[in-house]
Amino acid sequence: MSLVLEGVSRTVGGEVYLDDINLTFERGEFNVLLGLTEAGKTTMMRIMAGLEPPNTGRVVEDGQDVTRVPVRKRSVGMVYQQFINYPSLSVYDNIASPLKLAGLDKGQIDRLVRTEAERLGIDHLIDRLPAELSGGQQQRCAMARALVRDARLVLLDEPLVNLDYKLREGLRSELRTLFADRDTVVVYATTEPEEALVLGGKTTVLHEGRVIQHGVTAECYRHPANTTVTQVFADPPMNLMPVVVGDGEVSVGGLLRAPLPGHMKDLAPGHYTLGVRPHHLYVAGADNLVTLHGTVEVAEIAGSVTYVHLEVNGRDWVVEERGVHPVHPGERFDIHMDLNRAYAFDSADQLVAAPDSQRG
């Protein structure tokens, strides 16, 4: 039971929106579609829904080719970034609308609408008009409408992006429970790495119309397939630096020379890109750490952590350090790096060594 995209491509006016997408989405799984604005997320969802046909390739639902089956004949629920409800209908009638179209009888509709409204915590607002609701409540209403008829495919296109931070946090953690017991393919598009991690399930990283990684969310995070993933699927992005590996050492010009850490021992001599997460760089030195010099550009203090932005060997780096560390722009700054936590990417930017530790 699944939705499969086979070699799906979409070009509009010479511009490539999607390029040879091959993916399988299983029922009962939470699928996150992660990518920057214009990475192709919305186009992919539109093709999955049948709102737009691909130029080549097939969309297969449970073994059946549905590529050219229009959206009305499929079983799809969709939630958008904007809060889309029928403005003249009450919350109740909004949620009931897809059921009425499906021709269910009154009693059944009533039962389903009330159950769904309750699950989304808007059962007390059922007689109000959408305009009388807050943004969060409006989006809950739109979600209830998308979910109420147990569609085989539910697509959520950045549904939380227009909500306040705290509302987003609340609804996000509810979402997983909301879909946990449903026999449906759920796809959730977002630009935010943190959202993907909280939602869990599987993640597909899209970039410029291509799938650059697909797998279990936490796995993708810990083993970013290439340097692009390290920038799209990490907030702040991973720090990168070109290095040379040879003679059991890793070196960067005169800046750094250190023995290769265990997980990089098997790398052939040559040029690589080293990746280090901001929170694996430390202000304080220790025996197992190697030291790098940088120039402070700015520091951001965010309550429990300080982000120090530095220029290291011509690159913009970020250090995430617990606690508050006042630093001054222009200051020369030593940072300490745990090579055992570093990633290595080859000259084609593909991951060749990841830290052994359980967490990236």
Partner 1 sequence: MARIELNHLAHQYAPGGDYALQPMQHVWEDGGAYALLGPSGCGKTTLLNIISGLLQPSEGRVMFGERDVTTLPPEQRNIGQVFQFPVIYDTMSVFDNLAFPLRNRKLGEDYVERRVTHIAGMLGLEDVLKRRANNLTADAKQKISLGRGLVREDVAAVLFDEPLTVIDPHLKWQLRRKLREVHEQLNLTLVYVTHDQTEALTFADKVVVMLAGQVLQVGTPQALFERPEHTFVGYFIGSPGMNFLDCQVDGSHAVVDGERIPVDPAMAEAARTAGGLLQLGIRPGLIRPAGADEPGLTVKVDKVEDLGDYELVTGHLGQHQIHVRLEQSEKIGSDGLRVVFPTENALLYADDKLVG
Partner 2 sequence: MEKREYQWAWLMVLPVVLVVAFSAIMPLMTVVNYSVQDIFGPDSRFFVGTEWFKEVLRDPQLHGALIRQIIFSAAVLLIQIPLGIGLALCLPKKGPWVSVSLVLLALPLLVPWNVVGTIWQVFARPDVGLAGVFLNSIGLDYNYTGDSVDAWVTVLVMDVWHWTSLVILLCYAGLQAIPDAFYQAARIDGASRWAVFRYIELPKLKGVLLIAILLRFIFSFRIYAEPFVLTGGGPGNATTFLSQRLTTMAVGQFDLGPAAAFSLVYFLIILLFSYVFYLTILNMDREG
User: Which one of 49-57, 132-140, 150-158, 262-270 is the stretch in contact with partner 2 (CB under 8 A)?
Assistant: 49-57
58 burial via Cβ count (<10 Å: 0-12, 13-18, 19+): middle
Distance CA 140, CA 171 (A): 9
Q: Tell the smallest beta-carbon distance from residue 148 to partner 1 (Å).
A: 26
Decide if residue 123 touches partner 1 (CB under 8 A).
no
**Which amino acid is it at 70?**
P
Structure tokens at 249: 């050492």
Asked if 250 and 339 touch (Cβ cutoff 8 Å), the reply is: yes
User: Which one of 48-56, 149-157, 222-230, 321-329 is the stretch in contact with partner 2 (CB under 8 A)?
Assistant: 48-56
Within 66-105, which residues bind partner 2 (CB under 8 A)?
Answer: 68
- Given 7, 135, 259, 270, the residue binding partner 1 (CB under 8 A): 135
Nearer to partner 1, 55 or 288 (CB): 288
- Given 134, 295, 347, 350, the residue binding partner 1 (CB under 8 A): 134
| Of 34, 50, 52, 43, nearest in space to 16 by CA | 43
Decide if residue 222 touches partner 1 (CB under 8 A).
yes
User: Which one of 22-30, 70-78, 189-197, 261-269 is the stretch in contact with partner 1 (CB under 8 A)?
Assistant: 189-197
User: Pattern of binders to partner 2 over 278-317, x per CB under 8 A?
Assistant: ----------------------------------------
Decide if residue 162 touches partner 2 (CB under 8 A).
no
Contact of residue 307 among partner 1, partner 2, none (CB under 5-8 Å per partner type): partner 1
| Of 97, 209, 208, 188, nearest in space to 142 by CA | 97
Decide if residue 283 touches partner 1 (CB under 8 A).
no
Nearer to partner 1, 72 or 359 (CB): 359
- Given 303, 314, 332, 348, the residue binding partner 1 (CB under 8 A): 303
Strand partners, 155: 78, 187
Nearer to partner 2, 52 or 320 (CB): 52
**174-208 as b/e: b if 16+ CB within 10 A:** ebeebbeeeebbbbbbbbbbebbbbbebbbbbbbe
* CA 238, chain centre distance (Å): 15
Decide if residue 358 touches partner 1 (CB under 8 A).
yes
Decide if residue 164 touches partner 1 (CB under 8 A).
yes
Strands in 90-184 per DSSP E: 153-157
- Given 299, 327, 335, 353, the residue binding partner 1 (CB under 8 A): 299
Q: Which phi and psi (to 5°) does residue 35 adopt?
A: 180, 165
Structure tokens at 91: 């919350």
Structure tokens at 67: 């590529």
The CB density around residue 222, as the number of other CB atoms within 10 Å, is 15
Nearer to partner 2, 24 or 56 (CB): 56
Give SS3 for 130: helix
The CB density around residue 68, as the number of other CB atoms within 10 Å, is 10
Question: Which residue in this structure is represented by tokens 């970020």?
Answer: 318
- Given 24, 56, 81, 313, the residue binding partner 2 (CB under 8 A): 56
Nearer to partner 2, 56 or 191 (CB): 56
- Given 237, 261, 275, 294, the residue binding partner 1 (CB under 8 A): 237
Contact of residue 135 among partner 1, partner 2, none (CB under 5-8 Å per partner type): partner 1
Q: Residue numbers of the site for partner 2 (CB under 8 A)?
A: 53, 55-56, 68
